[in-house]
Structure 1
Amino acid sequence: MFKRLTLLWTVLRGDARQLWAALRHPAAPGWLKLGTALIVLYVLSPIDLVPDFIPGLGMVDDIVLVPLAIRWLLQRLPPALREAAARRR
């Protein structure tokens, strides 16, 4: 379990840095900014798919959905922007 969380954190940290670099790029598309704002709103929102007060399961949707959403956004970037963001992270 700990190895999975460590791997998830490593992937999320790298993807989050790449997303941040892509957002700061002058050619960042508007949909990327909107998608990132929606991810942030989901994380901060008290409304979740699985309520946070359920022990053990409450954080699972955040732990799974947020990295998937970030990865999904990154995969839809134009290739040149994706490469530039990967170099800057």
Structure 2
Amino acid sequence: MKVFAMWKRLTLLWTVLRGDARQLWRALRHPASPGWLKLGTALIAMYLLSPVDLVPDVLPFIGVVDDLVLVPLAIRWLLRRLPPDIAQATARR
């Protein structure tokens, strides 16, 4: 039963992340996208690619969980700080 609940949470997380990632991509391509958005996105990408982690990936399960939690939170944080006109334009597509 626990495996099913965990799988359901991961599926929900993937759905949210996929939608947020698409909106972030559209916001980055928007002509009026702010510089801080590009910087924040670059920092998120560097965190994902960096061998240095808050929790090392060699630890089974826990090492990957920090990436699965922190990256979607960081993306959502950036999207909530978008100027209203850019947020509306990217959410409509």
What residue in structure 2 maps to residue 29 of structure 1? 34
TM-score, normalization: structure 1? 0.97
Identity of aligned residues (%): 78
Q: Distance in 1 between matches of 2:53 and 2:90?
A: 30
TM-score, normalization: structure 2? 0.93
Residue 56 of structure 1, CA deviation: 1.1
Structure number with greater Rg is 2
Q: Give a deviation string over 1:42-66, Cα, whole Å, max 9, x none.
A: 0000000000000010101100000
AA of the residue aligned to 1:83: Q
Is 2:7 the counterpart of 1:2? yes
Of 70, 76, 82, the residue aligned with 1:77 is: 82
Bigger RCO (CA 8 Å, 6+ sep): 1
Name the SS of the counterpart of 2:59 in structure 1: coil
Q: Distance in 2 between matches of 1:87 and 1:62?
A: 28
Moved segments of 4+, more than 3 Å: none
What residue in structure 1 maps to residue 46 of structure 2? 41
Greater share of residues in helix: 2
- The alignment yields a C-alpha RMSD, in angstroms, of 0.5
What residue in structure 1 maps to residue 64 of structure 2? 59
Give the number of aligned pairs.
88
